[in-house]
Homo-oligomer: A and B are copies of this chain.
């Protein structure tokens, strides 16, 4: 099934919201309710769910637990997938601490750094390995996804290496735009872009 990237993003958001519903002991939710929580329209929700072939049986809204499972079947892999953070500095630690244990099928299994102070310690709940061992560890731990939080100047070179060693997906939080061969999926995010966007729309509103 070939799902649009935007739909995949929203599926992740639906699940996050649905998990909150479970916390609140809510077992059913209407499309318009789910939509409202995410600032989108009910049609958008229904359309996305149509794309993944989900339909509710009851007319009391979607079965929260069932929908969580269905989304999982689509966006999660069957077996779990292992993830590592490269560069366990400020951002790396924040991401590791936040991400660790949040998704059952995505295991944060290691971090890598070249700072001797950090190596072989457990930081934000993950063991930090020396970057020099990364080739071996990627294979040993079957790491498929790398979250890149090293200083910008090293990003390109490290990426080339880890791709050679078998990494198939990269989440790049570095300022440096990367190039990856086809077959490797790359997602990039720069906070400053988002913040500048906010500033722009604030300015446009007021001047």
Contact = CB atoms under 8 A, between A and B. Distances in A.
Contact of A202 (B169, B179, B189): B169
Interface stretch (A5-13, A56-64, A113-121): A5-13
15 contacts: A8-B197, A9-B197, A37-B177, A77-B203, A78-B207, A83-B199, A90-B93, A98-B191, A99-B191, A103-B196, A171-B198, A185-B202, A185-B205, A187-B195, A189-B189
A26 interface: no
A169 B183 CA distance: 38
Interface in A77-125: 77-78, 81, 83, 89-91, 93-95, 97-99, 102-103, 105-106, 124
Contacts of A179: 39
Interface in A144-169: 144-145, 147, 168-169
A132 interface: no
B12 A197 contact: yes
A139 interface: no
A59 to B, nearest CB: 26
A16 B185 contact: no
Number of copies: 2
Question: Which of A74, A94, A187 has most chain B Cβ within 10 Å?
Answer: A94
Contacts of A97: 90
A175 interface: yes
Given A169-B201, A175-B16, A95 B196 contact: no
A171 B202 CA distance: 11
Contacts of A204: 2
A22 interface: no
Nearest to A90: B94
Given A77-B203, A90-B98, A93-B90, A171 B145 contact: no
A136 interface: no
A145 B177 contact: no
A68 interface: no
A103 to B, nearest CB: 7
